Structure 1
Amino acid sequence: MTDTVTTASPLSVNTLARPLVERLLRDADTLGVKARRSEEGVCIVDAGIEAPGSVEAGLLIAQICMGGLGQARLACSEQQGWPTWLEVQTAQPVLACVGSQYAGWSLAASKEETGGKKFFALGSGPARALAVKETLFTDIGYRDHSDAGVLVMEVDRPPPPIIIQKLLRDCGLQAAGLTVILTPTTSPAGTTQVVARVVETALHKVHQLGFDLHSVVGGSGSAPLPAPSPDGVEAMGRTNDAILYGGRVHLSVRCDDAAARQLAQQLPCVNSSDYGRSFADIFKAAGYDFYKIDGALFAPAEVWVSNLQSGNTWHGGAMDMALLMSLWRKEA
């Protein structure tokens, strides 16, 4: 696939993310993260394993994940019964969300290869566009050629040397040019950067529905930010629930009205047969197998689709904050 992917955009998500990575390293103490060099010379940033991390670090990592092509910020005002919300915006939704932020690079090593415990992670962020290991890059016609890259992993332990070597080989980088950021979902930074995928979740569903991604020309969204749970499955459940039942996304498109209207109808997660239960419960019922979960579930709760060609806007879905409050809020 590598030879078939061309660069349709002059933008480099790794180059645009580099100043944000430099800020993360420069302000490491303030943001509660720790950086070190691996034996290979790769920069490893701990944003929540042994380091405490922070919501602020998570916001910055979310923008790194978007390849410097999006903004993520907090809205600290009570809405719908919850005090803190994340807001995300991008004028380059396809590159920011699909070409960079999406956690689509499967990275695995057996216990024999690691010399201990088997390892699995989904890589997200700009370095995916250097390795182009996913068919998504053929679909959007994009490949990056930067001499430095950054990858984010939602893991609770550092990647073993065999995974680091694979990253360097597949990305075509020297060790000094690669940064790997580790964000367990049980940490404040991890929870934050996952909830900041609210627009990306919509874009991935758009692609799954067969809608032309290049017709999407702008995106913004919001979702409530839950407290991280110390339990891994519960933490993952909360971040997914934030988007499934509290996520709102507004997409700007250029297409015919019939397609825009259909997108607003089909995009929300209410169309899934699994809708209405906490994600943690759904995941457990599926035997902890993501592939047994109805794919239509992975979408925001509520969407607006504005067609810039006609000026018309359609609305679909609705938030279910009552469900989220029953899961997240305890009465004093």
Structure 2
Amino acid sequence: MAAAQQVLVVGETLVDIVHTPDGLVEEHVGGSPANVAMGLARLSHDTVLATSLGEDPHGTRCRGHVTDRGVRIENLDAGDHPTSTAIATLDDSGAAEYEFDLHWDLRPIHRLDRFAHVHTGSIAATLTPGAAVVAQTLRDARAHATISYDPNARPTIMGDVDGVRPRIEELIALSDVVKASEDDVEWLYAGRTLPDVMAAWGRLGPGLVVITRGGDGVTYRVTATGETAESPARVDRVTDTVGAGDSFMAGLVSGLLDAGLLGEAAARARLAGATLGDVTGAVDRAMSTSAITVVHAGAYAPTRDELPADAATTPQGRGPQ
């Protein structure tokens, strides 16, 4: 049973517009934070998404898609801007060229004390001017809530790596849990090993650092003991990998909330002192949610009922104290 704690996700919602070689055009609601919010709601967590949508058909579609999956939306006003889009033009090999039309000018989020946990990541955390509001939201929320962050690097949007790295590290320092991909780490710290980067991030503040490695599974590290572990991928077949990382993030946060290692400021200390055994159940849930996602086309978010029995229950660990 999910804990009755409100979760806030802050970040972009956009429409992916895909042009295929045969002339077809398909549109899908996306955006990494929006996917995480829908994933958490589908796992029975009370979830609010603070985002920005225009008063246009794309905005209407996004609102319906997100709310149909159980998420409440706030901060919808995009001013005079349209809803953000990502146009992908596919060639005959399936490779895509992207053209982005992004607008991220978030208003301050009121009544933050409603929320026991706050998640952010991806474009919203680095794209100005809204990124400043995102960072301030995390600072303000830390007094009463735990924080999770997924850099989800987009090099073509985020610009020069030397310029964006300090901003990402600032957000890591505000976070209790950080999940990144192996590709994120390679872009941010070319030539450095995963253990080196995970240890460096742990020294900045997070109690748990998790690196996803595609078909090679995940590597994770708890800061309290410096222990690391690996979990193999659990995928028998793949339809596509769209949204798999976001589904993993939702499953990880869900598992840690259920285990009492996220949610409210007191959980920060519990996670800061956690052992590998305390967090393994949450990582297992994340592996299960992402494994279900890749079987489906698009950014499918599984419900708790779809998870294996051992991943659907409260992970083994300390539990709320």
Q: Which category of TM-score, normalised to the shorter sequence, fits these structures?
A: under 0.3
